[in-house]
Structure 1
């Protein structure tokens, strides 16, 4: 009993002594305990809602990627954007058949036309700025998309119910629905991946009628009205290009003129190719991801299924699903333990090699040759005396947007048959049936011959007789690809026509110098 009392008294004394000491409290890190001033101070160091260093790093990475891409991918990179913008501002260039048939909206090219107009007013519309400023602008937009995807994943992981599509806050509904509407205006098929997301939003929204009447309809009406007014100005008549686009590509399915693939192509080839070395991690991540992310997988599968119903298929059509796929790849890498570092090294090295090869080597000749055409124009005081004819698959190179000089140029055209003729062949098809005969028929006298011919190396031997008889000499060549196929050669050749009079004058001057 006494021993117990002694212990109790010692404990009491210890507590009394500690009460006179300063007790250090643990500082909480949670933002719930920050004051309004502290939160505002933290936000000042943010950009786009994220850490400023992360945002700047993402922008720098995208800009680096922009300069590392020195190759071409598809003709629409130039012909449906920069070429149209150049025509809008400088009143010369070439508009493809899609614009004469009013299948495209001027809304997207107007972005680049605004840049071109500003450069023109400032007197800075050099060809290099016309090429690089739009690319840098798109690199910045890509960086913004990267940051927002990162923010999205943080929200998904911090919320039990992932209502990111809904926007949770009313103000965000207007923002995201405006972006969806703008994407549809620019490219009507953009509605395909958004369909399951919008449907999910509608199902989860308790005030469905309010969502439609006060958000979706006003935003859709405003965006469509803007598109109609822009196209009315540039087409000269009221045109609903979104309907024309869907009618041509979906209802009439005339896109098959440019090739068709079996229904399973996206699943058997297209999707595995664009994922590349990420494919096994995507499959692994699909099994690991929580149920709240199923909507993203549904969106991927829905997009592949819808595009599989169309006969004409291209890799780029399903690029919009890649960000969703990376979500599942991220889950796979997160759950790897022993193999995480080897997996990351494998992905980095494999994609680095492919990125450098496709960005710096593969299919670069058709861009490099445009620099040569620029020199032909700017080094020739009489621009009308020089002329260019591109004997290549149609739209193989950029055009006036990469020359910025009113130099007479021509290429083999390939518009689809819109009249329903049987056995229809475009100009490029007719040319490649018998290039030599076509050249002799087309250029029946010396006056009609262009000063410069540009062609792929695969055609050189077949038209050598024409080149010799017309006094064409090869003056430049540019590497294009290690994988030539069909009408595409490994190199791009430039031929220049030497007039006999010039040859005689040059020989006489050389002889006089010798004497």
Structure 2
């Protein structure tokens, strides 16, 4: 049956419900994200430290561990530069300890995640969804467990999801002005600076404008994106000495050498399986509504499918790689909900449908704190039942404590595991050698503090403890200088 027009009751009541639903979802999502930013010191993957926080710490404070990507030049400096700017602002505000500047940076990323959910609302509206349907779709992203979990982490996926969704919302809006289109295309260009894979959306924008026969708009977008490509190359030229150096090294490592397979491989079904495991209700509802809205927003659907398929075909997979399309997925769900709601002119039914969708998101938020690594597709074969939160958190907090010790002249982490799975100098914040478990022994005299486990807690004075890990001060008057100390991450 054809869609029926809303009754006068609808037109007078729906805007208030839509506004209230959107504000409440964004507010609750922001609270959950900021709370996580201030309480979780764990790691999902080392990239959230060594691709952003640690190089930023090196820019601002002059020291930090250097990952291989920043030796070979496989990353550009856009993300570390952004984080360094935030770190410098925090420093200027007097937040010059790890608890201060890390909380400031994580809080910023948490709010970026909230603004990304708002972008889902705007993108759904650009594709014709009414305010109530768009708000319900956005609530799925604002309240879903996976976006909440990843939000505070200083990763390129999180940083770039915001310009992706807002760039598309502005550039694809009906009757967008030249200025609006230029701003939207610029946001997509920025998204590529933050994460190279977002080039898919730039190509997609040009294809969609061409499919609409908006040739002038396509030409303008192409010119703006070309300008951002120039900035990408220039940034590499200034930092790595060659135009587009980071893009070439990154693509060669991942596509030619398949270097990412060293961190594990997974079948194409990985992403669908993990999304269902991590947030089953949200995934099923968003998928069902997206199928309903597929024809009405086929351009948006094509972008989502293209990004998803290209990532599913890559051998190495991590759930975080899909973060940039989750806001698009929520927007498409909002469009689908609008199609469903258009079949009803009774306000109560339309409101009930929107609230049911939002309730699914709320249900996911309620259980978000129970996520395990197995549910988010990480360490599936080694420790799937371990909580996904605060992993390495105790060690990181002890690093922060150690960095405040006035007599600190060297530290070794004796706890098993690689140094990459700790917070490095971003948490330690002390310009002295930091050794990992395979480093020199206590008899070397190169360090006077250790972070260790109870079974190795001998020959020293306990200074602090955190969930089974101990910080000990060794009975040494000082440290022997280590002229061969390397700032390279092992």
SS in 2 for 1:370: helix
Cα deviation 1:433-482 (Å, max 9, x = unaligned): xxxxxx6xx64671257544446x7xx8xxx6xx48x7478876544xxx
> Partners in 2 of 1:86 and 1:140 — Cα distance?
21
SS in 2 for 1:157: coil
TM-score, normalised via structure 1 length = 0.66
1:296 correspondence with 2:300 = yes
> Partners in 1 of 2:96 and 2:471 — Cα distance?
29
1:66 correspondence with 2:34 = yes
| Deviation at residue 87 of structure 1 after TM alignment | 0.4
| Deviation at residue 203 of structure 1 after TM alignment | 1.9
| Deviation at residue 104 of structure 1 after TM alignment | 0.6
> Partners in 2 of 1:196 and 1:106 — Cα distance?
25
Partner of 1:354: 368
Partner of 1:241: 246
Partner of 1:404: 429
Contact kept, 8 Å, 1:278 with 1:329, in 2: the verdict is: no
> Partners in 1 of 2:93 and 2:197 — Cα distance?
37
SS in 1 for 2:128: helix
TM-score, normalised via structure 2 length = 0.69
Which of 312, 334, 337 matches 2:316? 312
> Partners in 2 of 1:454 and 1:406 — Cα distance?
17
Q: How does 1:58-457 map to 2 (within 5 A)?
A: 58=26, 61-69=29-37, 70=40, 71-121=42-92, 124-157=95-128, 165-167=171-173, 168-207=176-215, 211-212=218-219, 214-217=220-223, 219-235=224-240, 240-267=245-272, 269-273=273-277, 275-289=279-293, 291-330=295-334, 335=340, 340=353, 345=359, 347-355=361-369, 362-379=388-405, 381-384=406-409, 386-389=411-414, 391-411=416-436, 443=440, 446-448=443-445, 450-454=447-451
| Deviation at residue 193 of structure 1 after TM alignment | 4.7
Q: 1:282 to 1:346 in 2, by over 3 A?
A: closer
Q: 1:352 to 1:57 in 2, by over 3 A?
A: closer
> Partners in 2 of 1:398 and 1:166 — Cα distance?
40
Contact kept, 8 Å, 1:271 with 1:318, in 2: the verdict is: no
Q: 1:186 to 1:363 in 2, by over 3 A?
A: same
Q: 1:87 to 1:447 in 2, by over 3 A?
A: same
> Partners in 1 of 2:282 and 2:88 — Cα distance?
42
Cα deviation 1:143-178 (Å, max 9, x = unaligned): 33222321232332269xx99654432212211111
Cα deviation 1:466-504 (Å, max 9, x = unaligned): x48x7478876544xxxxxxxxxxxx53363644999xx
Relative contact order (alpha carbons < 8 A, sep ≥ 6): 1 or 2 greater? 2
Contact kept, 8 Å, 2:34 with 2:107, in 1: the verdict is: yes
Partner of 2:143: none
User: How many residues matched?
Assistant: 400
Greater C-alpha Rg: 1
SS in 2 for 1:383: coil
> Partners in 2 of 1:56 and 1:344 — Cα distance?
10
SS in 2 for 1:316: helix
Contact kept, 8 Å, 1:369 with 1:478, in 2: the verdict is: yes
Contact kept, 8 Å, 1:94 with 1:400, in 2: the verdict is: yes
> Partners in 2 of 1:227 and 1:116 — Cα distance?
23
> Partners in 2 of 1:108 and 1:66 — Cα distance?
20
Cα deviation 1:62-109 (Å, max 9, x = unaligned): 254222341432221221111111101111001200110101111111
Contact kept, 8 Å, 1:288 with 1:332, in 2: the verdict is: yes
Contact kept, 8 Å, 2:414 with 2:450, in 1: the verdict is: yes
> Partners in 1 of 2:229 and 2:59 — Cα distance?
21
| Deviation at residue 241 of structure 1 after TM alignment | 1.2
> Partners in 2 of 1:123 and 1:497 — Cα distance?
29
Contact kept, 8 Å, 1:390 with 1:453, in 2: the verdict is: no
Q: 1:444 to 1:375 in 2, by over 3 A?
A: closer
